[in-house]
Structure 1
Amino acid sequence: MLFKILRVPDLVTLGNALFGMMAIFSAFSGNADLAFIFILFAAIADGMDGFLARRLPNSVIGEYLDSLADAISFGVAPAAALYFIYGYSHPYTMAIVSCFYLFCGILRLARFDTKQKTIPDFEGLPITASAVVIASYLLIVDRYVQFYGVVAIMLLLSFLMVSEYPYPKLRGSKAMGFAAFVFVLPIISYFVLPAYLPIFSTAMFLMLLLYLESPIMRIPRKYYEE
């Protein structure tokens, strides 16, 4: 059976896809905040499977499985969630923008899987980062979340995903630990201290804006490796 060839990193990757589906189900059920929390769970799983894949035996399908899971959790899930939220009031605009975001995300994943790696960085904004930007923005204080702000962010992220701008990879244990800490805070606050969720989400969103600007600011790669 196919299940016999799966390894530990593959199981974490499947968890990533599962969180993506739970995000879609939550958004469809009207629980938007939980949908974006599930996207953050998926992002943590995506980081973990890469970490484990570098240290544990891999299966022959691991790399392909990862891209399929990413397409669900960071392409389909945020696009569907936003349509469920805004589709009733702006159906055509939201449908077009959501589909465009999904198309750019899929193209980004296809390029990552097929292009020769000539630089140590990502070429174009990773789709995981794009989805987390959307999730963190939708989780901040409601009065700052505006429909046209969502549209502008989605279009910007779509452009950055298919661009050739270099985005640093998180490699060092300190950098990855800090990123995990930033991701976990909104998740914990959602379940334990809901009043603090907008605060932690705003902090995450502002940090992600710095990452989006890193090709322009030329932030030294060492800060992502240490």
Structure 2
Amino acid sequence: MTVTDPETLVGLGDDDETELRHRRWARDRELRAPRSPQQLSTADFLTLGNAVCGFLAIYSITTGVLMPHITGESHSPNRHSAATAVTLLLIGAMCDLFDGLVARKLRSSALGAELDNLADLISFGIAPAYFVAVWGIVSPDSKQQLSALIALTVLLAVVLRLARFSAVKMRPGVFQGMPCPMGAMTVIAIVLLDPPQLLGLAMIFGVAYLMVSRIEYPKPQGLLATATLCWIVVSIGCLAAWAAGLPGGDTLMHIGAIAQITLAAMAPLLVIRRKVGQKVGDVRARRAESRN
């Protein structure tokens, strides 16, 4: 017997064809099976990139904003360092977006989920909380203790959010509570807007609440993932224009920050609208039954 095309199973008998199919299935299972904890997958390197971006963002804020303020070298925040830090976190969010997609397409590792939670804690927990704490120190309307308390609230919200994500099974396609990257970007958008500090801290506390709430947010898949990626790229462009001092850069930065806060607020508003609509529908149904 001559095997003319083993990949398409042309020229094989029934027994040989079945055996080859079994071998192919075994090979596919082996390729898709998680790697051992001693090996890192391609997705894991993206996850580690997310953690690196989070650390570098903290380093950039410390050296470019906090230390000059403490030493008296500068009385206004260094917009270049602030823009670099936020851009690094946006790149970290991009890595977080892609590592899940890559893990589903290629072989994942046994460390994937644990690495992802640890990286998210650095980039979307510690880093934004640190931003809030530094904002409380360098702001002219300084309320350091209250800022530190709100920063701790953000950190604890992310810790609880990540722990619940690992322990609670949700229906496919949704998150329970605002996703950590979205929460972190919203917190930082509030800091960049630099509103009156009490108002800003109240808004940041609201974001922390949304992260631990039971409101369902859609997962970034398909068109939503593409839209999220485009939004990250546009945000980086706005930050670059702001950092470079280009004409209209301040306006672009403010528009981007307001848009981020608006997007974060849309989900709970839509949930409230849906619940109100359901209650109104129930009342109308009861009235219709009573009339009949």
Aligned-partner Cα distance in 1 for 2:264–2:135: 27
Alignment of 1:89-128 (within 5 A): 89-118=142-171, 120-128=173-181
Aligned-partner Cα distance in 1 for 2:233–2:42: 22
- 3-state SS in 2 of match to 1:5: coil
1:213 equivalenced with 2:266 (yes/no): yes
Aligned-partner Cα distance in 2 for 1:110–1:22: 24
Moved more, 113-122 or 69-78: 113-122
Alignment gaps of 5+ in structure 2? 1-35, 66-80, 275-292
Q: Please name the residue that 1:167 is paired with.
A: 217
- Closer, same or farther in 2 for the Cα pair 1:118/1:175, shift >3 Å? closer
1:177 equivalenced with 2:216 (yes/no): no
Q: CA deviation at 1:200?
A: 5.2
Alignment of 1:23-102 (within 5 A): 23-29=57-63, 30=65, 31-88=81-138, 89-102=142-155
Q: CA deviation at 1:161?
A: 1.0
Contact 1:23/1:81 (CA < 8 Å) preserved in 2?
Answer: no
Q: CA deviation at 1:8?
A: 0.6
Q: Please name the residue that 2:47 is paired with.
A: 13
Contact 2:132/2:148 (CA < 8 Å) preserved in 1?
Answer: no
- 3-state SS in 2 of match to 1:167: strand
Contact 1:167/1:214 (CA < 8 Å) preserved in 2?
Answer: yes
Contact 2:37/2:110 (CA < 8 Å) preserved in 1?
Answer: no
Moved more, 183-192 or 45-54: 183-192
Q: CA deviation at 1:212?
A: 3.0
Aligned-partner Cα distance in 2 for 1:100–1:138: 15
- Closer, same or farther in 2 for the Cα pair 1:168/1:122, shift >3 Å? same
Aligned-partner Cα distance in 1 for 2:178–2:162: 10
Alignment gaps of 5+ in structure 1? 221-226
Aligned-partner Cα distance in 1 for 2:264–2:240: 27
Amino acid at match of 1:190: L
Contact 1:185/1:200 (CA < 8 Å) preserved in 2?
Answer: no
**CA offset digits 1:60-90 (Å, max 9, x no partner):** 0001100000000000001112212222522
How many residue pairs are counted as aligned between the two chains? 215
Q: CA deviation at 1:15?
A: 0.4
Q: CA deviation at 1:28?
A: 0.8
**CA offset digits 1:142-194 (Å, max 9, x no partner):** 5xx3322321221001111111111111211x322221111112323434673
- Closer, same or farther in 2 for the Cα pair 1:165/1:198, shift >3 Å? same
Q: What TM-score, normalized to structure 2?
A: 0.67
Aligned-partner Cα distance in 1 for 2:152–2:89: 18
Aligned-partner Cα distance in 1 for 2:86–2:262: 18
Larger Rg belongs to = 2
Name the structure, 1 or 2, with higher relative contact order (CA <8 Å, separation 6+): 1
Contact 1:136/1:202 (CA < 8 Å) preserved in 2?
Answer: no
- 3-state SS in 2 of match to 1:39: helix
**CA offset digits 1:12-55 (Å, max 9, x no partner):** 00000000001110111113332222211111111111121111
Amino acid at match of 1:13: T
Which of 249, 255, 267 aligns to 1:202? It is 255
Amino acid at match of 2:191: L
Amino acid at match of 2:143: H
- 3-state SS in 2 of match to 1:213: helix
Contact 2:178/2:217 (CA < 8 Å) preserved in 1?
Answer: yes
Q: What TM-score, normalized to structure 1?
A: 0.85
Amino acid at match of 2:227: F
